[in-house]
Amino acid sequence: MGYYVYIILCEDDSYYTGHARNVWSRFKQHRRGTGARYTKMHKPQKLVYVERFNSRREAMRREREIKRLNHTRKLKLVRSSNKEARKPALRRRQDQPINARRRLD
């Protein structure tokens, strides 16, 4: 099992970025209000981006890179990873990530 960097879209259209070993469990914590102070105040709506890494160090490095991006660049990152999801044949649960990128460097 690897480490993941994820982006959550919040109710106010802001993004929350984090890392975890189990993205679904962590997302559920955020939804319950026990994940992070930011997501307590900015109600999480859905998981919109997931990227996999082999080590925690790599995941944390990528998380910092993403956190430095402005809202427009995060939106572009989310959209670029979700191009395949816009095809009509691909239907997913509301809280399921649309596309998981793998990074095995």
pLDDT in tens, 19-73: 999 999 999 999 999 999 999 999 999 999 999 999 999 999 999 999 999 999 9
Q: Is the pLDDT of residue 93 over 90?
A: no
Look at residue 89 and tell me whether its pLDDT is greater than 80: no
Whole-number pLDDT of residue 81: 86
Q: Which amino acid is at 16?
A: Y
3-state secondary structure of 105: coil
Phi, psi of 56 (to 5 degrees): -65, -40
Residues 29-38: pLDDT tens digits?
Answer: 999 999 999 9
CATH class of residue range 3-102: alpha beta
CB 63 within 8 A of CB 18: yes
Mean pLDDT, rounded, for 80-101: 53
What is the C-alpha separation between 81 and 64, in angstroms, rounded? 18
What pTM did the predictor assign?
0.78
With CA atoms as reference, report the closest residue to 46 among 9, 91, 100, 90: 9
Q: Please give the Cα distance from 86 to 22 (Å, whole number).
A: 25
Which residue did the predictor score with more confidence, 97 or 10?
Answer: 10
- Locate 52 and state its tokens: 């996999």
